[in-house]
Amino acid sequence: MAAPAKPVRRTSDWIAACLLAFAVAPASDARAGYADTPPSDAGAVLSRMAAAMQRWEYEGTLVYLHGHHLTTLRIVHRIDDGESRESLLALSGPIRAVARNGRGVTCVLPDAHPISVEPPHPHSGMLREAPLDAERLAPSYLIHPLGDARIAGRDADVIGVIPRDNLRYGYRFYVDQATGLPLKTDLMDRSSTPIEQVMFTELEVIGEAQPLRSAVASPAEQPESDRPRPKAAEIAAETSERWHFARLPRGFRVVAGEQDAKGRRHIMISDGLASVSVYIEPDRGDGLQGATRLGAVHAAGRVIDDHQVTAVGEVPAETIASILSELRPPL
Amino acid sequence: MRLLTIADDQATAMTDDRRQRLSTLVDGEGSPTELQAALAETLLDPELEARWERYLTIGRVLRAERLQPSGRAVAARIAARLAEEAPAGSSGPAAAPIPLRRPSRRRRPAAAGPILGAALAAGLALVAVVVAPRFVDSGSLMGPALVEAPATLPSRFADASEASDRWSVGEPTVASKLNELLVSHRERAGAGALSGLIPYATVVGYGGSR
């Protein structure tokens, strides 16, 4: 049994160095000074950002940068009676586009095989609308304000989410002071080097969504205790009767699971911010063997007990490999 | 607007807003912002998307432009492929002549996810064939003409050989499967702090210009 990847414990000096590195962005668009805002407000800014995505109608132009890959994207977001309708279209390079409404998402990619995915079951526990839980993140991340900046002509608060080990990535969010929308997002590796950057170059805020006509709140608006989500322990117990993990990297736990009509099992693992999906299905010879990546997304696959298992997530390759190595078939 | 009046052979009334959206797409005279808004609404409305495609075809007939059946065959093949769950890479229906009039679309129940997905996918593919040149080539919405070879997808798909192996796995079927799993993962995980489509920037953005 392969041992899980051991976290490299960082000293307080290293954390302080990361704070400095996160604060001094390569583009020098984050101005210094973060002593005025208490750390507790950083969590509030992130919560406001999560809510803003569902509160505002907007459209704009984004730039996606990964290594030498630069793509311009056009995004449109509308909300009608509480239901979001949105689209994202690549304006450069081969055709790529995605559109979503309440009934699912459809994506067109260069291989010309459109992909359609229905939304998760309301009671599956899948994370899509779950807000950040600062208490849950605390063991794995340091959340700290990093000053302010100006993006797309708008003032923004800069918040750093700094990993405490090398099992996960860090983030730098530039949150619009007026609306809470994320104007820029940097995904950082353990050396505080940006891996991916997504930034608005132009943003038009159309207006606030109209209040829901029905009295039922969206899952993100419901108090944590009221949300009909399976408890992690229950999910873990159920999973152990089927596929399960001998152990998981520090901070990660099984948070949801479901099985689709084709019999493919999907297990979601998360540390509260980073997430990894593990898919298990009968082996048909068309699955990934080994490891690969697309941008900051890593994937790894293998055959276990005549089943193709594939892990996908925005975590370092070592974390993906560790998770996959600890997967066990039903007892 | 005259084209819409001539071609509108259905009794169903259209609101002024919907007519304006279609006019923007058909005439191609809107700004990129207006076009994006019209595009987003049309793609998510099967009735609007079907009407838009008919207007485009009728416009070409009126201007005595060459009809390219493969343009509609792209959308039809994709929809059929989704319905039949054909393996990736298999050949779709031959580019037989497609009747100009589509079968009437029934109102689909909200639970018909795969059917709606097929319509949405076909609409997005149509966008890629017809609309994208406007963004890239700065030409009119009605041109440039589609590729001549009826049995192949438009060149904008074929030229993406490098981008189609974005995962660098060397096997198109494996890459397609990974794309499907990534979209499924994205749809269920979000990105922690981010919801909406911004987390899809990697899915859509990777593979751009170098």
Closest CA to A170 of A30, A323, A17, A22: A22
Q: Tell me which chain B residue has its CA closest to the CA of residue A116.
A: B117
Residues of A with Cβ-Cβ distance to B164 under 8 angstroms = 94, 109-111
How far apart CA B70 and CA B81 sit, in angstroms, is 15
| Tokens representing residue A316 in the block | 């370092």
**Which residues partner with A108 through β-bridges?**
A97
Q: Determine the 3-state secondary structure of A177 from DSSP.
A: coil
| B117 burial via Cβ count (<10 Å: 0-12, 13-18, 19+) | buried
Structure-model confidence comparison of residues B41 and A101, the more confident one: A101
CB-based contact B82 A85, cutoff 8 Å:
no
Q: A130-135 — which CB contacts under 8 Å span 24+ positions?
A: A130/A219, A130/A220, A130/B190, A131/A47, A131/A50, A131/A51, A131/A220, A132/A43, A132/A46, A132/A47, A132/A50, A132/A272, A132/A273, A132/B192, A132/B193, A133/A224, A133/A272, A134/A43, A134/A46
CB-based contact B136 A86, cutoff 8 Å:
no
CB-based contact A105 B187, cutoff 8 Å:
yes
Q: What ipTM describes this predicted complex?
A: 0.82
Residues of B with Cβ-Cβ distance to A66 under 8 angstroms = 202, 205-206
Pick the most confident of A251-260, A296-305, B85-94: A296-305
CB-based contact B190 A272, cutoff 8 Å:
no
The percent of residues in chain B predicted with pLDDT above 90, rounded, is 5
Interface residue of A65, A108, A136, A315 to substitute, partner B, most B CBs within 10 Å:
A108
CB-based contact A128 B195, cutoff 8 Å:
yes
Query: Has residue A207 got a pLDDT over 80?
Result: yes
pLDDT grade for A100, boundaries at 50, 70 and 90: confident
Question: Please, which residues 7-36 of chain A have a Cβ atom closer than 8 Å to chain B?
Answer: none
In order, the DSSP letters of A69-102 are EEEEEEEEEEEETTEEEEEEEE-SSS--EEEEET
Interface contacts (A, B; CB < 8 Å): 306
B182 Cβ neighbours under 8 A, 6+ residues apart: A294, A297, A299, A312, B203
Query: Has residue A149 got a pLDDT over 80?
Result: yes
How far apart CA A95 and CA B127 sit, in angstroms, is 9
Quick one: average pLDDT of A47-52?
Answer: 88
CB atoms within 10 A of CB B20: 15
Q: Tell me which chain A residue has its CA closest to the CA of residue B134.
A: A91
**Phi, psi dihedrals of residue A222, rounded to the nearest 5°:** -75, 145
Are A192 and A21 in contact by the 8 Å Cβ rule? The answer is yes
Give the dihedral sign, CA A314/A236/A282/B77. Answer: negative
Closest CA to A296 of A200, A143, A138, A168: A168
Among the partner-chain residues B125, B157, B209, the one whose CB lies closest to the CB of A70 is B209
> What is the residue type of A156?
A
pLDDT grade for B198, boundaries at 50, 70 and 90: confident
How far apart CA A253 and CA A257 sit, in angstroms, is 12
Of A123-132, A174-183, A274-283, B107-116, the poorest mean pLDDT is in B107-116
Instruction: Check CB contact of A157 with chain B, cutoff 8 Å.
Output: no
Residues of B with Cβ-Cβ distance to A64 under 8 angstroms = 201-202, 204-206, 208
pLDDT grade for A223, boundaries at 50, 70 and 90: very low
How far apart CA B46 and CA B50 sit, in angstroms, is 6
Query: Has residue B202 got a pLDDT over 70?
Result: yes
Structure-model confidence comparison of residues B77 and A204, the more confident one: A204
Query: Has residue A127 got a pLDDT over 90?
Result: no
CB atoms within 10 A of CB A210: 11
Q: In the predicted model, what is the mean pLDDT of chain A?
A: 80
Quick one: average pLDDT of B140-152?
Answer: 32
Task: Name the one residue in this structure whose structure tokens are 């109102």.
Answer: B107
Q: Using the 8-state DSSP alphabet, how is residue A285 labeled?
A: S
Instruction: Check CB contact of A300 with chain B, cutoff 8 Å.
Output: no
Quick one: average pLDDT of A57-70?
Answer: 91
Question: Please, which residues 271-290 of chain A have a Cβ atom closer than 8 Å to chain B?
Answer: 272-275, 277, 279, 286-288
Q: How far lies A207's CA from each of A56, A184, A214, in Å?
A: 6, 20, 20
| Tokens representing residue B210 in the block | 């170098």
Q: Determine the 3-state secondary structure of B150 from DSSP.
A: coil
How far apart CA A61 and CA A77 sit, in angstroms, is 12
Give the dihedral sign, CA B119/B120/B124/B125. Answer: negative
Among the partner-chain residues A70, A117, A220, the one whose CB lies closest to the CB of B187 is A117
Structure-model confidence comparison of residues A160 and A211, the more confident one: A160
Interface residue of B35, B120, B156 to substitute, partner A, most A CBs within 10 Å:
B120
CB atoms within 10 A of CB B155: 12
Residues of B with Cβ-Cβ distance to A273 under 8 angstroms = 192-193
CB-based contact B204 A110, cutoff 8 Å:
no
pLDDT grade for B56, boundaries at 50, 70 and 90: low
